[in-house]
Amino acid sequence: MKTNMHIGILAFAVYLLITSPLIIFDINHNYDNLMMPIRTLLGKQHAALYEFSFPNMVGHVKELLSSFGRLWFITFHTNPQDQIVLESHMDKTNGNIFLSFISLGALIWFLLKNRRPGYDIFAISLLTIIAAFIMYPSYNLEYYLMSVLTLMAVAIGFTLNALPKSISLIIVGIFIIVNILSVFTLSDKYGLYIRRELVYKTMPAIGDRSYELQTYGELLKPEFTYAGWRYLFKHYGKTPSKSNVDPVLGWIYQDEISKDTPELRVVVADTVIPKFEIEPIATFQSGVYTSYVFNNQLPSNTTNPRSKNASQVSGYRLESIEIPLQNIFETDQILSEKNNQQVKRDLR
């Protein structure tokens, strides 16, 4: 009994050590993850779930198989943001179906070869995660499979070890060479350096004045998809008094949101070039990103944000800046076409 207690305490200590980065992150972000179950039970926050449907499950199976293929190889001349970052620019490379079935075969063979006491937990964990990913009625992304891909790498390694040594060395050698080439041909057009330079260029125009930050791009819900810009401006420049991210994440940094009207408004266009009916007082560009600085006041020729005719872009109002509706509809049409193209690629 005493030994079991020591093992339990040691296991708990190891668990705390391993998860300590996540715990520190949560403490610095107002207990975002730890409080999620409580907020859900109290009805303060709800997950955006889809209806449980067979087509949705089929889509998740396709995403699963694609990930099994991408584990071996992605492609050359791509960029990390499109390949591994959530909600980037909808240009992810689909996994090769032949490599997908090699991974699946390696996993099945591994599970069958290790059907003995002590290995059950491995199979149960793996199959439970896969089943949850397939059946969960939501927009399931590849990064939800990180734990599966880690276990998959173990299964593939086990399978390679069972092959003749000469064949294993050839496969591993090709894998290393191809993926080194993939890494060295990566583009940094959406990278941190490019984004940071835009912040550095924009801050002198802001100076000591307060400002509101808003983001605009080709993806829907900019308060989610471009939320990282607020952190970049805070870290490399100065904290915005307000931002279009506040309604979603503002509860994490409540003391940083000002009730006063900021002096300036900064609009960051993420890989698009919007047209405004008023001229900005300053414009800056870094790679595919552009920032526009405006005086934060309602000009006479701009639609009042409280008016029914106020322009609404991707779920939020630009208030003192009106983007012509024609441009908004064109952007939505382009986004719709891009979504359709992605679905067609997934079906293939």
Judged by average pLDDT, the poorest of 53-62, 118-127, 147-156 is 118-127
Select from 320, 314, 82, 93 the least CA-distant residue to 218.
314
Contact 167, 80 (CB under 8 A): no
Pick 123 or 262 by higher pLDDT: 262
In percent, how much of the chain has pLDDT > 70? 79
- Assign 235 to helix, strand or coil: helix
* Residue 65 CB coordination number (10 Å): 18
Select from 157, 195, 198 the least CA-distant residue to 175.
157
β-pairing, 289-295 with 264-270?
A: antiparallel
Which band of pLDDT confidence, cut at 50, 70 and 90, is reported for residue 306?
very low
For residue 115, which amino acid is it?
R
For the stretch 248-282, pLDDT in tens is 888 888 899 998 999 999 999 987 888 888 889 99
Which residues are CB-contacts of 165 (< 8 A; sequence separation ≥ 6)? none
Q: For residue 261, what is the DSSP state?
A: P
For the stretch 206-255, pLDDT in tens is 999 999 999 988 777 777 778 899 999 999 999 999 999 998 888 888 89
Pick 70 or 312 by higher pLDDT: 70
Tokens read off for 336: 């719709």
Judged by average pLDDT, the poorest of 63-67, 88-92, 198-202, 343-347 is 343-347
Contact 320, 68 (CB under 8 A): no
Which residues are CB-contacts of 158 (< 8 A; sequence separation ≥ 6)? 106, 110, 113, 114
Q: What is the pLDDT of residue 311?
A: 34
Pick 193 or 92 by higher pLDDT: 193
Task: Say yes or no to pLDDT of 303 above 70.
Answer: no
pTM score, whole prediction: 0.64
Task: Say yes or no to pLDDT of 302 above 50.
Answer: no
Contact 302, 321 (CB under 8 A): yes
Tokens read off for 218: 């080709």
Which band of pLDDT confidence, cut at 50, 70 and 90, is reported for residue 50?
low
Which band of pLDDT confidence, cut at 50, 70 and 90, is reported for residue 88?
low
Tokens read off for 73: 């190889």
